[in-house]
Amino acid sequence: MRRTLLCSLILTLALTACEGGEEAPADDTAGGSAAEGPDVSAEAEAEAAESARTVAEGFVAALVAGDGEAGCAFTDEGAQSAITGQSENARDCAAAFPDYLAELPGAQDTEGFEVGEVTVSTDLDGETLIASVELLHPEEAPGVLEVREGEDGQWRATRVPGAALGGA
């Protein structure tokens, strides 16, 4: 009897140990999540995607309206510098916006700009959420708008399509 009890106890422990390795991770960030950071929740990812979409929609509305003040309000300092770099004479982002827009693929028909897919990932440290928002146009491929949260808590574009790297 003791021998049977001892064997069943050993068998139970062995089976329990084997089953423990096959359990699925409890948190929502493991496997399949676009963000790779260890402490990035699915909720944070969804909020980042929504914030990025809002910034992209505002930026596209500014493109359609040709409104440099509004367009630059959706960008951080680095992206504003990249936009300003598109103009030979402008001293600030808003003044350079028409030159930037003129060089952007699809600018001949600004009404055609739309916001496409939003993809959320993290920086190399896995701590900062970065959203890439595809800008769409029926005739051209304008590119991707990179959006992230600044130190002030506001989401802004850190890189804009058609311009040299700005920020990030």
The residues pairing with 159 across neighbouring beta strands, listed in sequence order, are 146
Structural domain spans, the chain? 42-159
> CA 134 to CA 116: how far, in whole Å?
5
10 Å Cβ neighbour count for 56? 26
Model confidence pLDDT, tens digit, residues 142-164: 999 999 999 999 999 999 998 86
Largest CA distance in the chain: 95
Model confidence pLDDT, tens digit, residues 74-106: 999 999 999 999 898 899 999 999 999 999 988
> CA 53 to CA 161: how far, in whole Å?
15
pLDDT band of 165, cuts 50, 70, 90 = low
Closest to 133 (Cα-Cα) out of 121, 150, 151: 121
116 in Cβ contact with 135 (< 8 Å):
yes
Residue type present at position 135? L
> CA 118 to CA 106: how far, in whole Å?
20
Distant-in-sequence, close-in-space partners of 25: CB < 8 Å, separation ≥ 6: 31
The highest-level CATH class for domain 42-159 is alpha beta
> CA 79 to CA 75: how far, in whole Å?
6
Average pLDDT in the 30-52 region? 71
What local confidence, expressed as pLDDT, does residue 46 receive? Answer: 94
82 in Cβ contact with 166 (< 8 Å):
yes
What local confidence, expressed as pLDDT, does residue 126 receive? Answer: 83
